[in-house]
Amino acid sequence: MTTLRNLPSVESLLQTRIAAELIAAYGRPLTLDAFRAELDEIRARFKSDPELDLPTMDDILALAEFRLSAWTAPSLVPVINATGVILHTNLGRAPLSDATIRAMDAISRGYSTLEYDLVKGARGSRLIHAESILQKLTGAEAAVVVNNNASAVMLVLAALANRRRVVISRTQLVEIGGGFRVPDVMKQSGAKLVEIGATNRVNLDDYETALAEPIALVMRAHRSNFKIIGFTEEPEPGDVVAIAHRAGVPVVDDLGSGALLDTARFDIAHEPTVQESLAAGMDLVCFSGDKLLGGPQAGIILGRADLIAKIKKHPLARAVRADKTCLAGLTATLMHYLKDEAEREIPIWRMMSLTLKQVRGRAEAWRLELGRGSVVEAESTVGGGSLPGESFHTCVLALDVKSPDKFLKRLRMQHPPIIARTEDDRVLIDPRTVLPEQEGALLVGLKNALR
Ligand SMILES: *Cc1c(COP(=O)(O)O)cnc(C)c1O
């Protein structure tokens, strides 16, 4: 009769050649944990079912190895984005340019001048690195980079409007996603909201009336992910600025996406640019680093030097500061704009600038390689809180499969996982967002999943 006494001990498992290999790969403490967990589980199972055959030594070692690989497998892994959504928030927004990755790599490998002035041989400031290039690019007097745009908005309000009143139109009290609601962030910062206008309409009189009272700031928030259509009204940004300035009140523009290039060049609608916002007289503009800028996660605040100086001094600035890899990467990404090579070097602009013919060519090549599917025209979106309601004309490889949902799941189980979408019961593979270097892996994954 089998009894638990026949179960190998941790000590005997450790004597094996496989154990030595596991220790080399995973370290001794974790390997021991895995052996103990495996043996505990077998004992528990045996107690509830004494008829059970005890696993052999080899079985236990194999199960322990499986456990170790599961314990150490990262959950954050690269995927192939075949959805056609260029700034897919769930898939990490903007992929970075080669120069950006090199800069982040170089700075993270060793020591750097993060807060060190080489000329003086003394302490410097981390805030200067991206600032001078942002000034050059936009003409803004000053700039500060923080962790992301949500913290940029929070910091601006905390530094300039704590316990004071901030005017914002009800047409702009938006939720960006992931629970980021402009009104909630404004309240968190300690500012007092003065809501004006109606959900669909606001006019200059509304601003004028609100500005008759003492006001710290007028805030504007870009409706990043939806449109208001129909009976609507909203004054031009420049006119809002003029009224606010007459009352001596600065205006802050939360642009969200913060394009430096005009999206209208690529047959999609125009997304407000940073330059336009500054030209309209905005005192401060804030936007994300990883949306239409195409860089690493960051929040950028640009504008009047006196306001930026106050922001830099606020205690929250330290809490939301950008790290050295972010600053290195952001600077490298911004350099592409300065050198007028953004369209060629920054992946998201490359994707946007692909012509229908180029996208069709890739989809055709994949169809030939797979011997399956058809190439059809479709629409994809930019995503990531930009250009709501606007889509790209694109070409996709459409696959007819028995169960689209099951097929999507099979695609997600590939290495690397492939993320696609369905439309009219077909699975669509959009070449626009598949990086050229991922093409081989995509085809292997598709073939696997189709088998
Ligand atoms: C996306 C967005 C934010 C938040 O930016 P993150 O960089 O994601 O923190 C804030 N405001 C607007 C208008 C946005 O579109």
Question: How does pLDDT run across 30-56, given as a tens digit for each residue?
Answer: 999 999 999 999 999 988 988 888 899
What CA–CA distance (Å, rounded) separates 121 from 113?
10
What CA–CA distance (Å, rounded) separates 96 from 379?
24
Give the distance (Å) from ligand 1 centre to CA of residue 335. 23
Pairing assessment for the beta strands 392-399 and 284-288 based on DSSP bridges? unpaired
**Chain-wide mean pLDDT for the chain?**
94
Give the distance (Å) from ligand 1 centre to CA of residue 441. 32
Give the distance (Å) from ligand 1 centre to CA of residue 177. 9
Nearest to 451 by CA among 405, 401, 412, 417: 401
Atom 2 in ligand 1: which residue has the minimum CA distance? Answer: 256
In the structure, what pLDDT confidence band is assigned to residue 388 with cuts at 50, 70 and 90? confident
Instruction: Sheet containing 284-288: give its strands across.
Output: 142-146, 299-303, 284-288, 251-256, 217-221, 165-169, 192-196
Instruction: Please give the average per-residue pLDDT across 241-246, as a whole number.
Output: 97
Burial class (CB within 10 angstroms; exposed 0-12, middle 13-18, buried 19+) of 352: buried
Please give the helix or strand (H or E) that residue 421 lies within, else none.
Answer: strand 421-423
In the structure, what pLDDT confidence band is assigned to residue 1 with cuts at 50, 70 and 90? low
Q: Which atom of ligand 1 is nearest to the CA of 153?
A: 10
Ligand 1 binding pocket, CB closer than 6 Å: 148-150, 153, 176, 180, 221-222, 224, 254, 256-257, 288, 299, 385
Instruction: Please give the average per-residue pLDDT across 337-351, as a whole number.
Output: 96
Q: Which atom of ligand 1 is nearest to the CA of 299?
A: 7
User: How far is CA 200 from its chain centroid?
Assistant: 29
| C-beta separation of 212 from 244 below 8 A | no
Question: How does pLDDT run across 269-318, given as a tens digit for each residue?
Answer: 888 899 999 999 999 999 999 999 999 999 999 999 999 999 999 999 99
Q: How far is CA 28 from CA 42, 68, 72, in A?
A: 21, 11, 14
Structure tokens at 234: 């909203």
Q: Where in the chain is the domain with CATH 3.40.640.10?
A: 95-345
The residue behind tokens 């031009």 is 236
What CA–CA distance (Å, rounded) separates 332 from 102?
9
| Strand ranges inside 292-391, DSSP E | 299-303, 374-380
Instruction: Please give the average per-residue pLDDT across 364-385, as a whole number.
Output: 91
Asked whether residue 175 carries a pLDDT value surpassing 80, the answer given is yes
| C-beta separation of 61 from 352 below 8 A | no
Q: Which atom of ligand 1 is nearest to the CA of 174?
A: 13
Give the distance (Å) from ligand 1 centre to CA of residue 259. 13
Domain over 80-89+349-450 is classified CATH 3.90.1150.110: yes
Q: How far is CA 289 from CA 34, 75, 111, 300, in A?
A: 42, 24, 24, 7
CATH of domain 95-345: 3.40.640.10
What CA–CA distance (Å, rounded) separates 326 from 183?
28
Atom 3 in ligand 1: which residue has the minimum CA distance? Answer: 256
Asked whether residue 179 carries a pLDDT value surpassing 80, the answer given is no
| C-beta separation of 445 from 451 below 8 A | no
Question: How does pLDDT run across 92-114, given as a tens digit for each residue?
Answer: 999 999 999 999 999 999 999 99
Query: pLDDT at position 391, please?
Result: 81
Query: pLDDT at position 203, please?
Result: 94
Q: How wide is the angle at C-alpha 433 spanned by C-alphas 427 and 438, nearest 5°?
A: 90
What CA–CA distance (Å, rounded) separates 348 from 88?
11
In the structure, what pLDDT confidence band is assigned to residue 267 with cuts at 50, 70 and 90? confident
Structure tokens at 132: 């001078």
Q: Where in the chain is the domain with CATH 3.90.1150.110?
A: 80-89+349-450
Question: How does pLDDT run across 131-141, given as a tens digit for each residue?
Answer: 999 999 999 99
Give the distance (Å) from ligand 1 centre to CA of residue 423. 29
What CA–CA distance (Å, rounded) separates 395 from 432?
8
